[in-house]
Amino acid sequence: MAVFQTTDLTAASYSVALFGLAATTVLLFIGSGWVGRAWKVPVTLCGLAALVGVAAVFDARAAWAAVGKVPIVYHYVGWAISMPLQVIALYFFARQAGKVGIGLFWRLVVVSVLMVFVRYLGEAGFMHPTLAFLIGLIFWLYILGELFFGRMDEVIRGSLNRPMQRGYFWLRLIVTVGWAIYPLGNFITSFGGYVDDGSLSVAYNLADFINRMAFGLAVLATGVLATEVSDNA
């Protein structure tokens, strides 16, 4: 069994992300009992996304301990599951404010999966890096377009539920700013010739506090507050 050095910042970041995601997973699953029935789906989806993050970080941490580097596949396996789950959670989040078509659901699922898969193909060398980066960027921008200008934005703005409007603001901000770390990392490795010495893994692990943990907690907090408003109405 590998023993991490005190000065090994990469190992420390994996441990912190692992424990943080584990705590978030437990809190979200417990918190699904604090919200109304309709809110259980988005909260549980966020809990599953955090749980996937726990497994992905655990595997990557083991790889770092074994060989001192983390192959890119360890990052993408987790993202390929957790990011679509979070996008689906956003869909069910918006459904609490109004009618959202099933067509949007499937578009978001397909786009979010392809966004991660295409980036992986580019970084793994199965696809031209420039083409993969641009296609992945387009898919991410499509998701942002739906969040800011699509049906989900319409129903949230038309809702009189203030907790939902505030929660949606923070969720959109996370997908816009927090998720930007992934195309940025893709760009650095694909075009900058950067070989990850652990620094990029540290950045990804720190980003998990926003992209997986804060995202799930924002959904949970919104669900709790919206349930209280509904109960008091």
Q: Are 60 and 14 in contact (CB under 8 A)?
A: yes
Q: Would residue 43 count as lying in a domain?
A: yes
Q: Would residue 158 count as lying in a domain?
A: yes
Q: Would residue 124 count as lying in a domain?
A: yes
- Specify the pLDDT at position 187: 86
Number of domains in the chain: 1
- Specify the pLDDT at position 59: 93
Sequence-distant (6+) residues with CB within 8 A of 198 are 9, 10, 64, 69, 70
Residue 219: name the closest of 72, 70, 60, 46 by CA: 46
Q: Would residue 153 count as lying in a domain?
A: yes
Q: Would residue 2 count as lying in a domain?
A: no
Q: Would residue 4 count as lying in a domain?
A: no
99: tokens are: 């009618």
Q: How far is the C-alpha of 60 from the C-alpha of 54, rounded, in Å?
A: 10
Sequence-distant (6+) residues with CB within 8 A of 170 are 214, 218
Burial of 112 (0-12, 13-18, 19+ CB in 10 A): buried
Global pTM reads 0.93
Locate the DSSP E strands across 10-121. Answer: none
**CATH code for the domain of 205:** 1.20.1070.10
Give the pLDDT of the chain (233 residues) as one tens digit per residue. Answer: 565 666 688 989 999 999 999 999 999 999 999 999 999 999 999 999 999 999 999 999 999 888 888 888 888 999 999 999 999 999 999 999 989 999 999 999 999 999 999 999 998 889 998 899 999 999 999 999 999 999 999 999 988 788 999 999 999 999 999 999 999 988 887 776 666 677 888 999 999 999 999 999 999 999 999 988 776 65
- Specify the pLDDT at position 56: 95
Residue 88: name the closest of 180, 181, 178, 219 by CA: 219
Q: Would residue 49 count as lying in a domain?
A: yes
- Specify the pLDDT at position 136: 95
Range of the domain at 186: 10-228
Q: Would residue 198 count as lying in a domain?
A: yes
